[in-house]
Amino acid sequence: MDRPEREVTAPSGPGGPAAPAPGKGRQPWGTVVGFGLVSLATDLVSDGARPLAGPLLAQLGASALLVGLVTGAAEAAAQGLRLIFGPWADRTRKYWTFTIVGYVLTAVCVPLLAFAPAAGAVGLSLASVLIIGDRVGKAVRSPAKTVLLASVAKRVGRGRGFAVHKSLDLTGALLGPVIVAAVLAATGVLSAAFAVLAVPAAMALALLLWLRRRVAEPGGVPDPGLAPEPGAEQRAPGAEDAAGSPPSLFSGVFVLFAVCAFFWSAGLVAFGVIAYHLTTAAAVPVPAVPLLYAAAMGAAAIGALGSGILYDRMGPAVLLALPVLIAAVPVLAFSNGIVLVLAGVAIWGAATGIQDSTVKALVADLVPEARQGSAYGVFAAFEGAGALAAGALYGALYDARPALIAAVAGLQVAALVLLLLTLRRASGSKRRKHRSAP
């Protein structure tokens, strides 16, 4: 067998067979890139369909409020249900099982949207269920997959590791809309655009199963080829309380950061509502909407990579830009001038990229590794509650733009204040740790 040439192995238990240590190959970047390629293929599917959710629901007879509620509920499911699946993954330690099941849900639900227009009176209900089902899949897989990635990325720098992964993820999010735009331009049929996404869905599952054979469940088994960093288990900001005791999942700094995430999420509109505005008020042709989403994903990749590099160099203060970006989105994206709309879409993308990458790096640095699945679940629940509030907020105030802009600005002021308090407390915990060190 030539497997040992590709990876370091560790014993799985007394008398048990050797198993690959989680992400501990000779080239740790290779495993990070492997996860990124899986996400790339999956986002060809999920984000290829995402900009068409609003136009599809509108075609099936949905109002702006219903589009806001469905897309908001989808994002709430993607975030809020992690509160269940994150702790569940931690209890069972079966991170790969949750990861695979979640990816399968997306691979099945999105191509089935092709049948919604032909479903007659139940088409709107079917489309709504499948749109939400895709995001439920993200909730199932995300905490477990992020624990796997965090275990791998700590060897290359979590800021950079998450940023590179997210950049590959967003490459798929950019290519997916381009593909469906090309299909729409050639056929003019929404169903054909959804059906073609079955191909990258199958590719994503094949890549995932290939990677599964090379990365074990994180089980706390040390890598025999890697010397532990001095004090590595205590180096995260905010990882100890004032008394120097081990951190708890619900430490004050973590809860403060989670509440902050609720406020910024409550101001970040789902793209389905932006797409609804583009096609109904800004006179943007439906085939152009996926291209605009692709541009947003390009901006998201830049935001993720740039903020990740700055996170490793400068620390979590880079996240202070996030509430400012979110506050600008409704001002620009819901205007009628195409240049302002394009700027708003780009800023929306950059904010999304930072939220989905560098924010996760800070969560990983605030909690112990054994509780990270639960932490990501709890944190995402706050983000999901914010996403549901955002869907209702944007749906209800869509026709009252000044009130909408003011509401989002108020939410982001609150987020900025909470984020400043989070960073101050995390920095204070780090200083106390250094003072108490021998």
Residues 387-403 pLDDT 10s: 888 888 887 888 888 99
The answer to whether residue 306 scores a pLDDT higher than 50 is yes
* Residue 281 φ/ψ, nearest 5 degrees: -120, -30
Angstrom distance (rounded) from CA 60 to CA 2 = 55
pLDDT bracket for residue 429 (50, 70, 90): low
The radius of gyration computed from the CA coordinates of the chain, to the nearest angstrom, equals 21
Residue 420 lies in a domain: yes
Q: Which of 296-310, 323-337, 403-417, 421-435 has the highest mean pLDDT?
A: 403-417
Query: Is the per-residue pLDDT at 413 higher than 90?
Result: yes
Q: Report the C-alpha dihedral over residues 228, 233, 237, 238, rounded to 10 degrees.
A: -170
Rounded distance, CA 214 to CA 7, Å? 7
Give Cβ neighbours of residue 304 (< 8 Å, ≥ 6 apart). 162, 163, 166, 167, 170, 353, 354, 356, 357, 358
- Residue 228: inside a domain: no
Instruction: Return the sign of the alpha-carbon dihedral for residues 409, 411, 417, 420.
Output: negative
Q: Which two tokens stand for residue 19?
A: 């198993």
Residue 8 in domain? no
Specify whether the CB–CB gap between 390 and 266 falls below 8 A.
yes
Confirm whether pTM is higher than 0.75: no
Q: Per the domain annotation, does 13 fall within a domain?
A: no
Q: Which of 211, 193, 66 is nearest to 152 (CA)?
A: 211
- 196 versus 314: the higher-pLDDT residue is 196
Enter the tokens of residue 334: 């819901």
Q: What is the pLDDT of residue 250?
A: 61
Contact 184, 292 (CB under 8 A): no
What's the number of domains the chain is made of?
A: 1
- Domain assignment of residue 216, yes or no: yes
Has residue 229 been placed in a domain? Answer: no
* pLDDT number for residue 12: 38
Q: Is 4 among the domain residues?
A: no
pLDDT(283) > 70: yes
| CATH code assigned at 351 | 1.20.1250.20
DSSP 222: P
Which of 289, 262, 283, 212 is CA-nearest to residue 47?
Answer: 289
The answer to whether 321 touches 354, Cβ cutoff 8 Å, is yes
Provide the percentage of residues in the chain whose pLDDT is more than 70. Answer: 84
> What pLDDT is recorded for position 150?
77
Instruction: Determine the structural domain holding residue 61 and report its residue range.
Output: 20-220+234-433
Report the range of poorest mean pLDDT among 232-241, 334-343, 353-362. Answer: 232-241
Lowest mean pLDDT among 103-117, 221-235, 246-260, 270-284: 221-235
Does residue 438 lie in a domain region? no
Instruction: Taking residues 170-188, report their average pLDDT.
Output: 87
